[in-house]
């Protein structure tokens, strides 16, 4: 199960689940503001992550971290080791708020849990093997998500 499903596909599946969840929230303009903020933040974070990978000429393929040629530690990667996944979380949160469905926060939490277990941890094992002490020091300084 590890490294088998592309994270954007997992996020899409979660977005579909969110769409079909029953909605118990009262309509509120705060949700729209939160949706716009989360969407904007998610897009910026993802673009910054892609830019950093492009500058380092390394792969963005999440299904084969063995092809990583460089450990990216600059730019957005100074604040989070997984900005692309953080960006996907922000997009799911934006969708949740857009639909004004607080129950969907459970699906977002499920996405975070799934991606951490089946994507991030296997990637971390490979990066630790490949980059050794450099990755170990980096992972001690920079959080996996933002927390």
- Summarised one tens digit per residue, pLDDT across range 63-117 is 777 788 889 999 999 999 999 999 999 999 999 999 999 999 999 999 999 999 9
The packing angle between helices 7-20 and 83-98, to 10°, is 10
Q: Please give the DSSP secondary-structure letter assigned to residue 27.
A: P
87 within 8 A of 45, measured Cβ to Cβ: yes
6 within 8 A of 63, measured Cβ to Cβ: yes
User: pTM to 2 decimals?
Assistant: 0.93
């Amino acid at each position: 199960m590890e490294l088998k499903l592309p994270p954007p596909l997992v996020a899409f599946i979660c977005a579909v689940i969110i769409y079909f969840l029953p909605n118990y929230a009262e309509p509120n303009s705060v949700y729209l503001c939160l949706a716009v903020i989360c969407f904007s933040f998610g897009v910026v974070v993802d673009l910054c992550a892609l830019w950093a990978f492009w500058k380092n000429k390394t792969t963005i393929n999440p299904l084969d971290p063995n092809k990583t040629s460089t450990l990216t530690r600059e730019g957005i990667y100074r604040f989070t080791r997984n900005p692309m996944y953080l960006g996907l979380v922000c997009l799911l949160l934006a969708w949740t708020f857009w639909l004004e469905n607080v129950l969907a926060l459970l699906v977002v939490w499920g996405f975070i849990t799934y991606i951490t277990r089946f994507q991030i941890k296997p990637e971390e094992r490979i990066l630790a093997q490949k980059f050794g002490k450099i990755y170990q020091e980096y992972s001690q300084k920079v959080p996996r998500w933002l927390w």
